[in-house]
Each structure stands twice: as C-alpha cells, then as structure tokens.
Amino acid sequence: MILSNNIVENLRLHAKSRPSYPAMVHADKVLSYSDLWFKVTCLAASLRQKGIGQSSTVGVCLGDNMGHLISLHALAFLGAIILPMDIRWKTSEKNRVLFKFNATFVITESELDITSDIEVSRISIDEKHSWDGLEPLKTPVQAESLPLILSLSSGTTGAPNGPLITHENMICRFEGHRASLGFCQHDRFVLATPLYFGGGRGFSMSYLHAGGTVVLCPPPMSITDLAVTIADRKGDVLFLVPTQIRQLLMESTRTRKHLTSLRLLISSGAPLHPHERTEVRKRICSNYCNYYSSTEGGGISVQRANDDELHVESVGKAVYQVEIEIVDREHQCVEEGGMGLIRYRGPGVAKEYFHSDNRERELGAFFRDGWFYPGDLGSLNTDGYLFLHGRERDMIIRAGVNIFPSEIELILSQHPDVIDVSVTGRVAHLHGEEVVAFIVPRNAEVKEEDLIDYSRGQLAPYKVPERIYFIDSIPRNRGGKVIKSELIGN
C-alpha cells in the first residue's frame, strides 16, 4: 500500500535543515522553523489528550494570526479533518456549519455560543497557550487518502457544501504553485486576506510546505499600512482579491512606491478587466498573475503578462497537471472554440462533497466521471487558452437569446465615469428577463441615459441594459465574487 504524505512532514524537515530560518512573521514576532515544529508537535499532543484523533472533524474558528496556522498543522499532524470557520460569522452561522458537518470539537480563542442540540467540545487556545509538561509528538499520522480539510465556499447563506481535500490533494496543489506560479523557499509571502478564505490559507500553507516565510498582514490593515509593511518586511509575493487591487490602483503614487520589492502579485476570486490588468502591471507589479481557481479543485488556469499580449480576454492556460475540457449539457466535448460548460481534472481536485444534505444531486451536478464542473461557461482556443463567459446560473435569457453579463460588464467598465459594475438579469413580463446594470460612478454628474447611449454604441440592441442603477459599492464576498442576489433585491 502506498501511503500519502502528511503535509507536516516538510515542517519537520525544515526544522532540521534550516532551524533558525523565519517561518512566520507577525508584527514584531518572528517564529523560526524550529520553534514552529515544536509548537505544532506540542499542540498536537495537547489536542490528542483532549480526544482529537484521526478523522475527528474539528472546527477552527480563530483570528488571522500565527496560532491559526499552528492549529491547522497540529490537526493535520493528528490526521484530523479541519473545518474552517470564519471568526466574523454570527453565532447562528457557526452553529449551522458545526451541525451540518458533524463536528465533534471546535478550536477558538473567543467566546462561542453553541446551541444545546449540538454536542461539540470547545477548546480555547491563544498564541500564548502553554503546553508545559507535554512531550511533543514525534510521528505524524500517515494513511492512504488521508483527509485534511473541508474547504467551504466563501458564503454562508443556507448550508454550504464542503469538498473534502486530502493531504495528497493539497501537496499536489502546492506542487502546482511552484510549477505554475514560481513559489520558492526564498520568498517572503505576504498574507493580506483572512486565513478562513481558501486563497490566503492555501498559499500560506503552501509557503510553509516550501520552506518560505509567511508575513501576516491580515485585514483590517489599511491598504496604505499594508504597502508600508511590505516595504519594511521586504515582502516579494503578495496575494490580493480584486477589491483590494482596485483600492491600490486608487492610492497615491507615494503609497505604491512601497511595493517595489514585489516580484509577484497574484489575484483570484474574480478576474480583473483587461484595462485594469494593464494598469496593475504598469503601476503596481509587472509580474501580475490572475489565478482562476475553485475551492473544490484548486488552480484551473493562470494568466500572465505574455498571455494578455496574445489573448487579452483569456484567463490563461491550464496550471500544472490540470486538464480542461469544454462540454455540452450531455457531457460531450464541443467543437474547438465552441462555448460550453467548463470541466477539469487533476491530482489536486477533490473527489466528492462531504456530509452533503443532498449527496446524489450534488455529486451528479459537480463531480462526474473523475471531472469537476465549477459551474462556469467557457471556451478553449487552438493554443489552449481558456476564455470565461460567466456563471451558467448568471446567464440572462432574454426572449430566448442567451446574454452573458461579463461581456456587458467589460464594455461598461471601460467608460471613464465607471469605477465598478455588475450586470444581472431581472424578471420581465414581455421577454422573460431583461438586462439591468449596477454601477459605482466616479462622479455624481454621470447620468443613466448617457451610459445607456454609450452601451448602444458598443452592444447589440438586446444586450443594452434596460435600467442602470447607481450604488455606493458592489456587494462582494471575501473572495471578490459579486453577490448578485443582493443586487437583485435593490
């Protein structure tokens, strides 16, 4: 039997081969790999004493600090299943997730109310937690297809699904980060998003696996303070969601000058528009990459500067070891260049959802014959470049004609009076659906009719918005994706 590696094995190797090298930096605290391994193994011993073992499902509801990353690796050491929870959730959201995934423990540093019908043992820790008298554990759990984490979707409306990611899946994703993004052990990765969010958590764990340094600069740090910290700490790799990048573009040149140490800037969650990417590469970091990914499968494609030069509207080519196909609703491959459902497979992709309320329906919709369907529409050209055409569920059908919001958003985003835009469909008596746009204006003088006239000059008549609504901001989740249900309610 071939045993899959436990992700913490690399921490042990780093502690042995480069013990004094900084693993994590947070404010004025620096944690070496030797200290990190000691804390992980001691916390693992403490958690095992409390009853946590292989396959225990454990909620992790912690702040964005070193203790959070230590806890994740201590649970991985034990072979437990990590259930990420956002410390910012309301009590009802926390209870709902703990109940849905049958968690038996929850690790937290704050008061957590748990309703009486949920039997969950609460374990409180903080960064000053003492494990005096405990002998550090020496050997991490090894097992074939050892489960690691339930990587939940960003939202908490209703009951979220959790794809079950194994240690083997995660190690393959880490290999993809090195092959497709260029991660290496000499980098200083700046964490500027919550650790609950899959991108920030995954990249941080990837850098610890590689032996690099993770510099924690999580929200609510301002964009200006983030830039100054990057300069002070000589951070060279940064991950941001599109909302944060747009904020950086609006900052002064003086603020952006603090970012000269960056060799790589990554964004994910939602792609920036082509003209925004050009501005990012010119004014922030020339080596900017858009990383198209999902919680279920990790990276799908990566788009670099040279990809933009060749195919400006593409999201790049498949990442390391990932195969992408475009299929119709009967799961047959469409002709080259044709549009259809995106599906992909690779060693980092989950095989199933875990503790799903409607397992058969969900597996049929998202996992099929070894492929994962993220729910996006796309097309592939002859050179393997992938083009997104929006979410299948967001497609607008007006009088029987399919309309893709992303096309209209691209056109409106190029208007000089538009800061941000989202397009969606609204029920209409005559045509079934009509196109409406929500816009964050650059100034109060811009008028709805001006933007509609502008759209008429760029789009076919049936794609022109019936109405344009001006709002203060586009609602987005922490991954940068627009929450269109909130727009429709306006």
Q: What are phi and psi of 455, to 5 degrees?
A: -65, -40
The chain-wide mean pLDDT, for the chain, equals 88
What average pLDDT does the segment 335-354 reach? Answer: 92
Quick one: tokens of 57? 């499902």
pLDDT at 360 over 70: no
pTM of the model: 0.86
Q: How far is CA 289 from CA 65, 241, 254, 393, in A?
A: 26, 12, 23, 27
**Residue 443 DSSP code:** S
- How does 51-77 read in b/e, with b if 16+ C-beta sit within 10 Å? ebeeebbbbbbbbbbbbbbbbbbbbbb
Distance of alpha carbon 129 from alpha carbon 39, whole angstroms: 10
At residue 362, does pLDDT exceed 60? no
228-265 pLDDT tens trace? 999 999 999 999 988 889 889 988 888 889 999 999 99
Distance between first and last Cα of the chain: 57
Element (H, E) at 487: helix 484-488
- pLDDT, tens only, 62-81: 999 999 999 999 999 999 99
CA gap 141, 10 in Å, rounded: 14
Strands 213-216 and 386-391, by their bridges, are unpaired
Question: Which segments of 181-247 are extended strands (E)?
Answer: 188-191, 213-216, 237-240
Residue 434 or 273, more confident = 434
Residues β-bridged to residue 391 = 376
Query: In the prediction, which pLDDT does 68 show?
Result: 95
Nearest-Å Rg of the Cα atoms of the chain is 23
Residue 300: strand pairing partners:
none
Given a cut of 50, whether residue 155 has pLDDT beyond it is: no
The pLDDT assigned to 49 comes to 92
Q: Which residues pair with 198 in a beta bridge?
A: none
Residues 460, 276: Cα–Cα separation, whole Å: 24
What is the predicted pLDDT for the residue at 132? 58
Under 8 Å between Cβ of 463 and 408? yes
Residue-range domains of the chain with CATH: 395-488 (3.30.300.30)
Q: 379, 338 in Cβ contact below 8 A?
A: yes
